[in-house]
Structure formats: structure tokens, C-alpha cells
Structure 1
Amino acid sequence: MLRSMSPPAITPAEAKAYARVDGADEDALFARLVDVATALAERFTGQALVAREVTETLRGAAGWQRLGQTPVIAITGVAGADGVTLPVDAYAVDIDAAGDGWVRGAAGLRVTYRAGLAETAEEVPAPLRQGVARLVAHCHAHRDAADEGAPPAAVAALWRPWRRIGFGHEVRR
């Protein structure tokens, strides 16, 4: 089980400016569209864009297990299934060169860590932010269309260099 909130990669005001929308009438809509576009960018790239605290319960067998969010900045805590912080000699942690976080120990460990490409939305690489803005503008412009207007290819082109492709939670050997 993985728990984390996706901070937006751009502000609703930035999205509205990109879409050339004035006034406050659609502020709530733009906030939702930014949240959705950010989540899609993270899903597409396989990476958390803005750093956040993540709590994950490892369900696999004992041994090395890869954490679900990348890139991992720091592993800040490891607790047993009961929530009691474990002594350092009861587990092992590692962050590899690809930014994958690894934890070795018993099944059911609860791991707390920070993951994300950038500390703030402003520090997210420009192509990722631009793709989010373009997707928000596209969704806003086509919000009344019935399954028309596929997302612009430019969005995928902006995000593709940042894409990490994996095959689930590989077991470390």
C-alpha cells in the first residue's frame, strides 16, 4: 500500500494564463485539471514530479524490495507492521544510482521516505511543466466534447525523455 499526495506541477493560475482564461469563474475547474494533468504526467513518466513524503507498507516476502515512488531522495523511517520504529540492525536500506529506493527486512514493513524530481513546482524541469500546461489547456478546450480531441502528441513528446519504464517491483539480487 502506497500513500502520498501529488503536489501540482504548475499552479492553476499558470494553467489559466496558458489557456488564456481570465476571471475566477473556473478556478475550481482549473485546480482539478492541474491535479489530473500532474497525476497523468507522473503516471506517464513513472516518477514523482514534486517531492513529497510517502508512506508505503511493503507486502512482499522478506528480502530486498523496491519502493513504489521514484526518484527517492531519502528514506526517513522504517517501522514494523505494528507501527513501532525498528532498530537500525533489523533492516537495511539503499538508494541506487537510478533513484530507486530499496529496503531489506521482514514482510509488512512500513517505510517512510521522500520522493520527487524537484523540491518545488518551480524546479520541475520545464518540458514536464509545459506538458502539464498543454494538457490542462487541451482538457479545458475539449471538456464538452464526447471522446473527441485526443491529447496533443506534443504532450507525450515533452514527457517522453523523462519516462522510466519498469516491470513492477523487481526483486533485488
Structure 2
Amino acid sequence: MLAQEESGALAASLDELKAYLRIETEGEDAVLAGLLRSAVTLCEQFVGQWLIVRGAREIVAVTGEWQRLGARPVVAIEGVEAVDGEGVMQPLPVDAYAIDIDAAGDGWVRSTRADERRRLAVRYRAGMAAEMNGLPQALRQGILRLAAEHFIA
């Protein structure tokens, strides 16, 4: 189970979208911001990566095998905790688990100890860029155009 700990910043600015649409008033700002968020989500689903870096918490099974984390590209794995049957989390010593981030940005985790715990809670950060100006211009332009198309439709 993957949960975002914080929402990512917009991958394109409201001002850029308004300029693209040639809108000078503020009456449509809420609608346009919603369309930008929707376009970012669609883009992330299409490319299979989070655009703006944000925190995540994921629960994975303890099998002794490497488990791939759901969000990518992973930039940091911040912590691993054991989750007992009642959902209580307990920090694990460093030698109780192994972590890795491969060249493709996939994050991996595995338990190195067999015990009664069945799940691990992994805290990590994933995303292509720290802020919108770090994204490839083609992605930003695509997000703007998609949001604009949805506004016009």
C-alpha cells in the first residue's frame, strides 16, 4: 500500500497556463488550478514517474526477497520500520533490512531477518525534480496544453 505523505508542487504554474490561454482575470483561477493538478496526475500515470519530489510511505510484505517500491524515481529511502499485526510500527536496526536504489530510479527493500513480523513500512522520497523548473520543458509544455484543452472543452 502506497500513500503520499505530502502533495507535490504543481509541475507548471497557474500564471503560465493563464498566459497560454490569454486569460487576464482571476475568476477562473480555481478551475485552472484543478485542471493543472489533473493534468499533472495524468502525466505521472502516463510516464510512470512522480514529477515533483515528495514523500511517500509504503507497506511491503516481509518475504526475505527484494520488494520494489511503487513510486519512482526514488531519490532517498529515509527509514524502515516493522509493522506488527495491530499496526504498531517499531524502528528496525540497520542490520535488519537492506535497501537499494538502482540506476533506473527504482527503490528496493528487503528484510534480512526472519521473524513474526509480516510487513515493513518504508518512508522514502521520489520524484524527477525538486521543483517545476527542474522538469524537462517538453513535459511542462504537455501539462500546460492538456490543462488548456480540458479548459476549452
Task: Give the TM interval when normalised to the shorter protein.
Answer: 0.7 to 0.9
1:8 aligned to 3, 7, 10, which one? 10
Identify the residue that residue 77 of structure 2 maps to in structure 1: 75
Identify the residue that residue 128 of structure 2 maps to in structure 1: 117
In the alignment, does 2:98 pair up with 1:98?
Answer: no
2:142 aligned to 131, 139, 159, which one? 131
2:127 partner amino acid: G
Using the TM superposition, give the Cα deviation of residue 7 of structure 1 relative to its aligned residue in structure 2, in angstroms: 2.7
Trace 1:42-81 onto structure 2 (pairs within 5 A): 42-59=44-61, 61-81=63-83
TM-score, reference length from structure 2: 0.88
Query: Equivalent residue of 1:47, what SS?
Result: coil
Query: Equivalent residue of 1:118, what SS?
Result: coil
1:129 partner amino acid: R
Find the aligned partners of 2:106 and 2:23 in 1 and give their Cα distance.
39
Higher strand fraction (1 or 2): 2
Bigger RCO of structures 1 and 2 (CA < 8 A, at least 6 apart): 2
Task: Please say if residues 59 and 108 of structure 1, whose CA atoms lie closer than 8 Å, have aligned partners that are also in contact.
Answer: yes
TM-score, reference length from structure 1: 0.78
Query: Equivalent residue of 1:48, what SS?
Result: coil
Task: Determine what percentage of the aligned residue pairs are the same residue.
Answer: 46
Using the TM superposition, give the Cα deviation of residue 60 of structure 1 relative to its aligned residue in structure 2, in angstroms: 6.5
2:133 partner amino acid: E
Find the aligned partners of 2:21 and 2:63 in 1 and give their Cα distance.
48
Per-residue displacement from partner, 1:15-55 (whole Å, max 9, x unpaired)?
A: 11112112110110011001000000000000010101111
Using the TM superposition, give the Cα deviation of residue 58 of structure 1 relative to its aligned residue in structure 2, in angstroms: 1.1
* Unaligned stretches of 5+ residues in structure 1: 143-173
